[in-house]
Chains A and B, each alone.
Chain A
Amino acid sequence: GQQLNQSPQSMFIQEGEDVSMNCTSSSIFNTWLWYKQDPGEGPVLLIALYKAGELTSNGRLTAQFGITRKDSFLNISASIPSDVGIYFCAGQLRYNTDKLIFGTGTRLQVFP
């Protein structure tokens, strides 16, 4: 099935550092979403973006919807140990009940 390209594939950082990851697509999406998944759990929604160019924050997390509608990035500032997990971007073609296309994931490891 279709997947979005997400980079980097994995990151190993020290506590307190900032993190940046991005997601690109060859297709246009009307909604971009960022999820975090802990081992053995379902994904949890972090940030939802609905307009091209939109910049949205949720605590230490900031995400932007690319102007071309083909990319998005997620930044995490001042990382803490509980940020460990896998981060997935997801694109939605049309509207709220449309299916999600997931990115390949970024595995984040934070060392104290």
Chain B
Amino acid sequence: GAVVSQHPSWVICKSGTSVKIECRSLDFQATTMFWYRQFPKQSLMLMATSNEGSKATYEQGVEKDKFLINHASLTLSTLTVTSAHPEDSSFYICSASAGTTITDTQYFGPGTRLTVL
């Protein structure tokens, strides 16, 4: 149980284009989903928190107009990197939490590697 998938697993795009990454909880309903970014040899840095049906909460320094997050259902959240530039190249990882009990925790997807040329 507690499986989270991401699609695509990797994407290469030209500078200036937009890229959409999907995060799905496959066997549970996720009240909250999180989006992280990880640069090579670094830790995971939280970008934003999203709750189903409401606007995402962005961390300080993360541009909400550049990284659009939509959490339209309890099993799907999407991250759209708009007008991508080479500095946006990174490993993007989502996590999901059912949030039904005190011990529910976050389960992570396999990540999406974005390369902007």
- In contact, B43 and A103 (Cβ under 8 angstroms): yes
Please, which residues of chain B bring their CB within 8 A of the CB of A103?
Answer: 43
- In contact, B49 and A99 (Cβ under 8 angstroms): yes
With an 8 Å Cβ cutoff, the count of chain B residues facing the other chain is 31
Please, which residues of chain A bring their CB within 8 A of the CB of B91?
Answer: 40
A107 to chain B, nearest CB (A): 8
A75 to chain B, nearest CB (A): 20
CA distance A55 to B44 in the complex (A): 25
Chain B CB within 8 A of A3 CB: yes
Please, which residues of chain B bring their CB within 8 A of the CB of A35?
Answer: 108
The answer, among B32, B44, B95, for a CB contact under 8 Å with A88, is B44
Among residues 7 to 45 in chain B, which have CB atoms less than 8 Å away from a CB atom of chain A?
31-32, 34, 42-45
- In contact, B43 and A105 (Cβ under 8 angstroms): yes
Q: Is the contact region of chain B dominated by helix, strand, or loop, or is it mixed?
A: loop
- In contact, B102 and A96 (Cβ under 8 angstroms): yes
- In contact, B99 and A44 (Cβ under 8 angstroms): no
Among residues 66 to 117 in chain B, which have CB atoms less than 8 Å away from a CB atom of chain A?
91, 93, 95, 97, 99, 101-111, 113
- In contact, A41 and B43 (Cβ under 8 angstroms): no
7 A-B pairs besides A40-B113, A100-B106, A105-B43 with CB distance below 8 A are A1-B45, A42-B93, A43-B108, A48-B105, A96-B97, A97-B32, A97-B104
